[in-house]
Amino acid sequence: MDRVGFSIEGEIVEGPRPVNSHDRSPTDGSSGPLPPLSREISFLLKYGVSMSLLQQVENRARELNLPPAHVLLANGQVTELAYYRLMARELGLDFSPVVPNGHDQLSKLPKPTDWRRIARMASHAPQCSTSLFNQRQADFFMAPDGWQFDGLRQLLRQYPEFSHRLQITTHGSGLNHLIRRAEPLLMAHARDQLRNQRPDLSAAQVVTFSQTVVLMLLIEMLTAVSLVGDAPIQIALHVPALLAYFSQAGLRLSSWASLTKPRQKAIEQWLPDACLPTYSVLVALYKEANQVDDLIAALARLDWPKEKLEVKLLFEADDLDSIAACHRALAEQNAPFVSIITVPAGLPRTKPKALNYALPLCSGELLVVYDAEDRPDPGQLREAHAAFLARAPELACLQAPLSIHNHRDGWLPRLFAIEYSAHFDGLLPALARYECPMPLGGSSNHFKRQALVNIGAWDPYNVTEDADLGIRLARAGCAVGTICCPTFEEAPNVFAIWLRQRTRWFKGCYQTWLVHMRHPLVLYGDLGPARFLAFQLVTLAAALGALFQPFLIYFVSKCLIDLLSGSTPTWRFVLACIDMMAMVCVLFIWCLLASKTLRLRQLQSLRPYLIWALVYWLLISIAAWRALWQLFACPHDWEKTPHTAMGKPIA
């Protein structure tokens, strides 16, 4: 791609020529006289910007029906700082790169589509009577939209005295000032929107009083049964375990059967850029300084017009190293579509709270969530948009498959990759095909933004906000689907890190089941019988299977030892046989599903590691029991999973 550069007071400003995502040749007007340039960019000719570049910008802006200045800045031809400094010079106004802090706060949050407009309007700043040079400080700071350029110049010609009360600033500075004014409202929205809107669906209180009573009655009933004898209590405990095992086997068998038809992308021909909406991308980062460079480079490769792409990187306010690394990366890479959002400190300190904080700032019709270590397929946004257009209007969310890129780093990442393959390429597409509630993965969730807002967005108190969100979408009558373009992720290769991550997932699974089962009859009415059963399979059955597995293995092993000594009762031998059949059945079907899905990602070399599936499942059981303890000891603690740069081992 051609690049141009010029110097403004020692500052080099350069960027790619504006072409669309498929390198189609822009209209150059060679067949006739060139149309006049818009005044909002034509003044740049005085400062060394070439006519050919500005003409390409003008044509691209006309194609997308966007202000030419927006196209110029979105593609990085001129930095925002340089453009507004030159605009101030052209208008005869002073320029300020920063809007001073004010004490005024907003009374209500603007609508997502209004943030940009309000940020470009005159923003009042604290007024000082005099300065050291006896000059009044400006009363207003303004970042005009390109289409406001002519109107502002006419205003200054008609009222020249107004120029002493006005300074030009950048749009980014105006937006940051507006965010600071709205900070209390954004924090309240991030923490309390769902809890205020639907307290029955919030995990702020994990276990209700009625659920506690039921749990106590269940424990007392089991205690009473144990007094009768050894056989009744063992049979009573085996019933839920065996139901969980056989139901999981049936679910995976149906997933395997559904793979007979090959999955295809939504459409092969993407729509032209002019027909595409704005796409918002949210990425929450915490202590991920080593991920920032690769992340921004990966997001820059997304096949979506940069003029209609807004990427927001979300940082905790005290994560100074990551914020500094991001500023350095943005200074080095040409990514003007990326902005930084700093989330103030406050509990709960979770990823969903950060996403909720940024959601009102997003203007995109569509929205996707990525993690810091994610490297999405460049065509993923296009496929998601095409799928939203091609499928039923009630489709509100699409899950892209997650694929492990570091499966060669050891035994644990290999089994992790096998598990992800079975889950994202086997189980989730089957759930979508059967229109069952789907526990979303924590990344690469594509939403219709308004549908997300309508259900209260993410629950900041649920440590697997993605799984909970998938169930709430189903309860609201929204459909969830899957697409094919993957996102590449990194698996932990250290057991301690893997255990913390898996503990959080199980704890969120428990939270999700407890929250939605507060009123079982209401849930049954929302989902219907088939989807209600599917919800139990993907949450309760999965958790019970992991919790009971060590005990079943112990029970079977003890029965075999006792059998050799001839002291095993008949009922115990029969029960052990059923246990063994259940474990072998679910393990065989899971391996069958994984083996078939591995071929979709060209990972057939991992099939020999399926022999370790039972050991891996025992490790999962450890995480399940650790999560059960944390559910009562620290229900809202978020155990961070550290990652590293692509291809480098975890420190």
The 10s digit of each residue's pLDDT in 231-241 is 777 777 788 88
Note whether residue 478 is domain-resident.
yes
Distance CA 138, CA 141 (A): 7
Cβ neighbors of 447 (< 8 A, separation 6 or more) are: 366, 367, 368, 369, 396, 397
Note whether residue 326 is domain-resident.
no
- Centroid of chain to Cα 486: 14
348: cis peptide before it, omega within 30°? yes
Residue 369 — pLDDT band, cuts 50, 70, 90? Answer: very high
For residue 425, pLDDT beyond 80:
yes
For the chain, give percent helix, strand, coil, nearest 5.
55, 10, 30
Cβ neighbors of 305 (< 8 A, separation 6 or more) are: 20, 21, 64, 273, 276
Domain count within the chain? 3
Q: Could you give the C-alpha distances from 220 to 76, 214, 565, in angstroms and in order? A: 68, 10, 35
Q: Could you give the C-alpha distances from 39 to 62, 65, 310, 378, in angstroms and in order? A: 14, 16, 25, 35
Could you give the residue ranges of the DSSP H alpha helices within 449-541?
449-454, 465-475, 495-516, 520-527, 529-536
User: Do 175 and 252 have their domain in common?
Assistant: no
Within 13 Å and on the Cβ side, how many CA atoms surround 81?
10
Average pLDDT rounded to a whole number, residues 571-588:
88
For residue range 630-646, list pLDDT tens digits in order: 998 999 888 878 766 54
Q: What 3-state class would DSSP assign to 370?
A: strand
Q: What 3-state class would DSSP assign to 183?
A: helix
Domain span at 205? 198-266+391-651
Note whether residue 386 is domain-resident.
no
Average pLDDT rounded to a whole number, residues 91-111:
83
User: Do 51 and 141 have their domain in common?
Assistant: no
Average pLDDT rounded to a whole number, residues 153-157:
86
For residue 530, pLDDT beyond 90:
yes
Per-residue confidence (pLDDT) for residue 10, from 0 to 100: 37
User: Do 538 and 629 have their domain in common?
Assistant: yes
Residue 129 — pLDDT band, cuts 50, 70, 90? Answer: very low
Per-residue confidence (pLDDT) for residue 226, from 0 to 100: 59
Note whether residue 334 is domain-resident.
no
For residue 337, pLDDT beyond 60:
yes
Residue with tokens 């818009």: 38
Note whether residue 132 is domain-resident.
yes
Distance CA 139, CA 157 (A): 19
Tokens representing 625 are 């029991």
Average pLDDT rounded to a whole number, residues 138-146:
80
Per-residue confidence (pLDDT) for residue 35, from 0 to 100: 66
Note whether residue 297 is domain-resident.
no
User: Do 555 and 625 have their domain in common?
Assistant: yes
The neighbour count for residue 320, using CB atoms within 10 Å, is 11
Per-residue confidence (pLDDT) for residue 102, from 0 to 100: 67
Distance CA 183, CA 592 (A): 51
How many percent of the chain have pLDDT more than 70?
87
Note whether residue 311 is domain-resident.
no
Average pLDDT rounded to a whole number, residues 261-277:
70
Query: Averaging pLDDT over each range in 73-82, 253-262, 408-417, 571-580, which range is the top one?
Result: 408-417
Average pLDDT rounded to a whole number, residues 23-50:
68
User: Do 424 and 566 have their domain in common?
Assistant: yes
Q: Write down the mean pLDDT value for the chain.
A: 85
For residue range 377-412, list pLDDT tens digits in order: 999 999 999 999 988 889 999 999 999 999 999 999
User: Do 171 and 222 have their domain in common?
Assistant: no
Note whether residue 348 is domain-resident.
no
User: Do 486 and 631 have their domain in common?
Assistant: yes
Average pLDDT rounded to a whole number, residues 243-272:
77
How many percent of the chain have pLDDT more than 90?
54
